[in-house]
């Protein structure tokens, strides 16, 4: 068995790994690059799509599924295997991605610039949807010479880490591993001891604070801003993070840790995801399932409202606080959150809460490092609002959790992380007597 990274090799996004045995070629994820690496999305895959026999998907985040339609357009002939939540969520993510590509080309056209053809379109999406086939956790199934088994990764509803076996050799692909000890999703399962693990290392250089401390700080920030009648801006990913924040806002209201104030989710995609959640309730923690069974929505604070149109989004900027605005995108590289921050950052009564990964050099990193001004939409914006970083909300395992998850493993290749973070995690693994190295794009490894 041989595995070759063709994405997420010393980068956080673009997950894509080719596993070969005999004449069978199996792809693990086919994700898009995000942030500074977006221009790589229309580059060649590094392998011939027509030669791939099957695709297994770990979960529905864009950096794990975003190039599937392009794979289909370029001749991939086979099936795409997904869990039930991934099958339901995937169309929402990819249709939004197509919309953004179309809008970008329209902007270029209005400026009189050349508009490149779309790398994929609605026809490719329709073809992809017809190729999807569901698999479930904990059942062993076969694909060509491989036996595969999925276990819960605790990162999203339906997220999985994948175990592959062929002729006595066993490989595990972690996908993205969730952050333990939070209430919304089950903790990740532990892996069996295998010959090689392809492990993510997004937070390989640092551990998260205890989540109880994160939640206490969250309540304190909200209470302070609400008392001075300011606005809280929370850049958030439409899938998982938005719903998790809503869960804890509801919980904090319920135990009167914060007063109830208007909460706006300014993300049409987040609204669609939230509509899917009740259909996949069995993939959540027992606590969330119990709340559903009582006839309540676990993800609904008392004064929750979803905005849909651009006009509704703009109207939020005319409203007075106290209020909370949760808007995309979570990495601050685009989306409605930028318009709210352009108008809200100059007001010292307001606050920004960063709840997830921010790429280097981006707006989020500038705010975290207390920039006095930032450039937005061609103008200089004064920053008076305070920025708070709550890494405990992260959907990824921290360094201590990764080391714990890999405790029984002997040989690990690290992917899905910036090089310095992977090097830090690799050093810690080697100090524990393990063989650990960084995955390299296009470099094959024997299992």
Residues 6+ apart with CB under 8 A from 70: 41, 42, 119, 120, 124
Both tokens of 379, joined, read 């103008």
Q: Provide φ and ψ at 261, rounded to 5°.
A: -135, 165
Do the Cβ atoms of 193 and 409 come closer than 8 Å? yes
pLDDT value of position 315: 96
Strand partners, 231: 323
User: Cα separation of 390 and 218, whole Å?
Assistant: 8
pTM of the model: 0.94
Query: Rounded mean pLDDT of 126-155?
Result: 97
Burial of 110 (0-12, 13-18, 19+ CB in 10 A): exposed
User: Cα separation of 117 and 324, whole Å?
Assistant: 39
pLDDT value of position 37: 85
Burial of 42 (0-12, 13-18, 19+ CB in 10 A): middle
Do the Cβ atoms of 224 and 265 come closer than 8 Å? no
pLDDT value of position 176: 98
pLDDT value of position 181: 84
Q: Provide φ and ψ at 324, rounded to 5°.
A: -125, 130
pLDDT of 188 over the 90 cut: yes
Both tokens of 143, joined, read 């694909």
pLDDT digits (tens, 9 = 90+) for 32-78: 998 778 889 989 999 999 999 999 999 999 999 999 999 999 999 99
**Cα four-point dihedral sign 258, 259, 260, 261:** negative
Both tokens of 279, joined, read 């259909």
Do the Cβ atoms of 265 and 88 come closer than 8 Å? no
pLDDT value of position 39: 87
Distance of CA 405 to the CA centre of its chain: 20
pLDDT value of position 362: 87
pLDDT of 217 over the 80 cut: yes
E strand segments, 124-204: 132-134, 141-143, 146-152, 160-166, 169-173, 196-200
Which CATH number describes the domain made up of 211-393?
A: 3.40.50.10890
Q: Of 3.40.640.10, 2.60.120.620, 2.60.40.680, 3.60.15.10, which CATH number belongs to 2-206+395-446?
A: 3.60.15.10
The helix or strand, by DSSP H or E, that contains position 217, with its residue range, turns out to be helix 211-227
Query: Rounded mean pLDDT of 114-130?
Result: 95
Do the Cβ atoms of 198 and 172 come closer than 8 Å? yes
Span(s) in the chain for CATH 3.40.50.10890:
211-393
Burial of 328 (0-12, 13-18, 19+ CB in 10 A): buried
The helix or strand, by DSSP H or E, that contains position 351, with its residue range, turns out to be strand 351-354
Span(s) in the chain for CATH 3.60.15.10:
2-206+395-446
Q: Which residues of 166-203 are buried (b: 16+ CB within 10 A; e: fewer)?
A: beeebbbbbbbbbbbebbbbbbbbebeebbbbbbbbbb
Report the chain's mean pLDDT, rounded to a whole number.
96
User: Cα separation of 24 and 146, whole Å?
Assistant: 9
Helix 84-110 with 268-276: angle, nearest 10 deg = 170
Coil, strand or helix at 64: helix
User: Cα separation of 316 and 325, whole Å?
Assistant: 8
pLDDT value of position 333: 84
pLDDT of 257 over the 80 cut: yes
Query: Rounded mean pLDDT of 236-259?
Result: 96
pLDDT of 350 over the 80 cut: yes
pLDDT value of position 392: 87
pLDDT of 359 over the 90 cut: no
pLDDT of 247 over the 80 cut: yes
User: Cα separation of 238 and 275, whole Å?
Assistant: 12
Percentage of the chain modeled with pLDDT above 70: 100
pLDDT value of position 357: 80
Query: Rounded mean pLDDT of 186-215?
Result: 95
Strand partners, 166: 169
């Amino acid at each position: 068995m041989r595995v070759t990274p063709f994405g997420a090799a010393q980068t956080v996004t673009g997950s894509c790994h080719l596993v070969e045995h005999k004449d069978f070629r199996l792809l693990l994820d086919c994700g898009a690059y995000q942030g500074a690496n977006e221009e790589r999305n229309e580059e060649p895959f590094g392998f011939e799509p027509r030669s791939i026999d099957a695709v297994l998907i770990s979960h529905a985040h864009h950096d794990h599924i975003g190039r599937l339609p392009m794979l289909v357009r370029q001749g991939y002939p086979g099936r795409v295997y997904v869990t039930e939540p991934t099958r339901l969520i995937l169309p929402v993510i990819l249709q939004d991605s197509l919309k953004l590509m179309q809008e970008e080309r329209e902007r270029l056209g209005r400026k009189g610039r050349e508009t490149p053809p779309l790398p994929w379109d609605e026809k490719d999406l329709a073809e992809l949807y017809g190729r999807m086939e569901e698999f479930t956790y904990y059942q062993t199934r076969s694909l060509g010479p491989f036996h595969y088994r999925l276990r819960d990764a605790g990162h999203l509803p339906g997220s999985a880490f994948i175990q592959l076996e062929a002729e006595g050799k066993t490989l595990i692909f972690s996908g993205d591993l969730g952050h333990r000890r939070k209430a919304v999703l089950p903790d990740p399962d532990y892996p069996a001891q295998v010959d090689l693990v392809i492990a993510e290392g997004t937070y390989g250089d640092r551990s998260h604070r205890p989540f109880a401390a994160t939640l206490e700080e969250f309540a304190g920030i909200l209470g302070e801003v609400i008392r001075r009648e300011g606005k809280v801006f929370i850049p958030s990913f439409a899938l998982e993070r938005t719903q998790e924040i809503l869960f804890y806002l509801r919980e904090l209201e319920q135990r009167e840790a914060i007063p109830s104030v208007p909460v706006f989710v300014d993300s049409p995609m987040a609204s669609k995801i939230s509509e899917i959640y009740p259909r996949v309730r069995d993939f959540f923690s027992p606590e969330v399932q119990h709340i559903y069974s009582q006839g309540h929505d676990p993800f609904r604070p008392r004064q929750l409202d979803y905005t849909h149109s651009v006009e509704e989004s703009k109207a939020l900027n005319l409203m007075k606080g106290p209020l909370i605005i949760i808007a995309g995108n979570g990495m601050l590289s685009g989306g409605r959150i930028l318009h709210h921050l352009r108008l809200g950052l100059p007001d010292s009564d307001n606050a920004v809460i960063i709840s997830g990964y921010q790429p280097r050099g981006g707006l989020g990193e500038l705010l975290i490092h207390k920039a006095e001004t930032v450039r937005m939409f061609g103008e200089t914006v004064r920053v008076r609002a305070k920025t708070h970083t709550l890494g405990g909300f992260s959907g990824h395992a921290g360094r201590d959790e990764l080391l714990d998850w890999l405790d029984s493993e002997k040989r690990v290749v690290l992917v899905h992380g910036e090089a310095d973070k992977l090097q830090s995690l690799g050093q810690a693994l080697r100090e524990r007597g393990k063989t650990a190295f960084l995955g390299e794009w296009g470099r094959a490894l024997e299992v």
